Copies of this chain bind each other. A is one copy, B any other.
Amino acid sequence: MRIGELARRAGVSTRALRYYEQQGLLAARRTSNGYRQYDESDLKLVAEIRSLLTVGFTLEDARPFVECLRAGNGSGNACPESVEVYRRKLAEIDEQIRTLFGRRAEVAAQLAEACPGCALRTGGTT
């Protein structure tokens, strides 16, 4: 299939696909007229990338998964590099959650100070 169809089926823009290729995450064959040519495995690959992006991974984070799939594995999760990324991202997320809780507490404290009785509970008194 060509880039337009892959884009439709994967739910992304053609620009995104070209960007993934530029970043070395997607390698397209070319037909004689220069058009990019993709197959089902590419669709799967793009789906994997999208799935990872939606949970906050960067394209760099996604790279090991892509390479894992390319290496012939049925899933991008199947390689130790991928597992390592999962662990790292999990730690990052936990750190972000901690940071957000800290900020939440500070903001809530300021709000309470500025407006006593204003926020008895979270989102309570609108």
- A103→B94 contact, CB < 8 A: no
Which residues of A in the span 56-90 have a Cβ within 8 Å of any Cβ on B? 56, 75, 77-78, 82-83, 86-87, 89-90
Q: Does A107 contact B (CB under 8 A)?
A: yes
A102 CB, nearest partner CB in chain B, Å:
8
Binding site for B on A (CB under 8 A): 55-56, 75, 77-78, 82-83, 86-87, 89-91, 93-94, 96-97, 100-101, 103-104, 106-108, 110-111, 113-115, 118-119, 122-123
A60 CB, nearest partner CB in chain B, Å:
16
State the majority secondary structure of interface residues on A.
helix
Q: Which residues of B contact A118 (CB under 8 A)?
A: 83, 87
- A83→B122 contact, CB < 8 A: no
Task: Select A83's contact among B82, B90, B111, beta carbons within 8 Å.
Answer: B111
Task: Select A107's contact among B78, B89, B97, B119, beta carbons within 8 Å.
Answer: B89
Q: Which residues of B contact A91 (CB under 8 A)?
A: 123
